[in-house]
Structure 1
Amino acid sequence: MTSTITIRPAVPEDLAEADALAAALLRNRAYMAATEPHRPEGYYTREGQVARLNDGGRRWFAVERGSVGERIVGAAILSGIVLGPFRSGSLGYWVAEEYAGRGLATALTEEVCRAAREELGLHRVEASTLLDNHASQRVLAKCGFVPIGTAPNYLHIDGAWRDHHLFQRVLHDDPPPRG
């Protein structure tokens, strides 16, 4: 039996959402250790995910297998959202190890960019990868992101400050709304 995959906005007020995210992150903790910052133990709990989901400056998206809340197999966050003349946000995403290489990260990234443009009116989305994260770089390239530079000592990952390639996708060239 083939289960369906759904990409949808995450629901901050739903505690089952927080439980599902915490469980998914815990299942994939070792897999993501080489590309993620060190996280305190509380991050992998319902309470840690409730706090993250309720951070009003972020937009969350979940990738689930099966029915709503059944099993999250990936997620994306659009954070650092700035409006005004900048109209930009920063993308981060992950897909569970068992679903890597199936196009889910690409679909997730496209959905975040769609929402960034159509729902938030953003002009651009930025993302970064470790220098050797070629899989993520391919996802970004497929989704229209272009390299814009390299940032030395950008994030503390896996015990050390790591250089990152920086990317952006310009979503449109319309002027910001007046008001």
Structure 2
Amino acid sequence: MTVLQRLRPDHAAALLAFERENRAYFAASIPDRGDDYFAEFDARHSELLVDQAAGLLHFHVLADDEGAVLGRVNLVDVADGSAELGYRIAERAAGRGLATEAVRQVCALALAEYGLSVLRAETTEDNHGSRAVLARTGFEPAGEIVLCGRPGLRFTRDLRDPAAGPR
């Protein structure tokens, strides 16, 4: 069983292990975080928790029964009732519907707990898995972009619109 949890201080070790184990897998479809991310992980984790407490962002981990992180779903750039959605699922857990379920849960939290009404997301055109998750969770295409030098798409979801809900 997996559980979506709001990021806490005690998630640091499991989250770092998740990022290290999946670094090459993630880099195949999104920009690599770089060596500094890993070298400065503890300080960054602490800073994120401060920003989260201030309501500037909302970070979540998807953990298994043993506490291992299988994914993360983040809301960043929180302002004026909207935020940017980002998510990643471990290679060993991909294809099981975890991203879809986690995004659905975060959409519900965004509206009910965080007071957000609109979420935005971006992905490259060739990231078919991510595009499918966004479609299944009610996000609509909102324009073409260039993402890290690659063709991409921007998506939005109005959390107040029941017609835009999960499919």
TM class, shorter-length: 0.7 to 0.9
**In 1, distance between residues paired with 2:30 and 2:51?**
19
| CA-CA distance at 1:40 after TM superposition | 2.8
Match of 1:7 among 4, 8, 11: 4
| Matched letter for residue 79 of structure 1 | V
TM-score under structure 1 length normalisation:
0.81
Match of 1:78 among 75, 80, 90: 75
Asked which structure has the greater CA Rg, the reply is 1
- Computed over aligned residues only, the root mean square deviation of the Cα atoms, in angstroms, reads 1.5
**Distance across 1 between alignment mates of 2:33 and 2:136:** 29
Counterpart position of 1:170:
158
Percent identity for Structure 1 against Structure 2:
35
8 A Cα contact 1:22 1:43, kept in partner = no
SS of the residue aligned with 1:38?
coil
Following TM superposition, by how much is the alpha carbon of 1:117 offset from its aligned partner in structure 2, in angstroms? Answer: 0.5
> Unpaired runs of 5+ in structure 1?
174-179
Deviations 1:65-116 (A, max 9, x none): 114xx21110011001112xxx211000000001001010001101110111
Query: TM-score, with normalisation over the residues of structure 2?
Result: 0.86
Aligned partner of 2:102 among 86, 99, 108: 108
Residue correspondences, number: 156
Report if the CA contact (8 A) 2:23-2:32 is conserved: no
Structure 2 unaligned blocks of 5 or more: 162-167
Higher relative contact order (CA 8 A, sep 6+): 1
Deviation at 1:41, TM superposition (A): 1.7
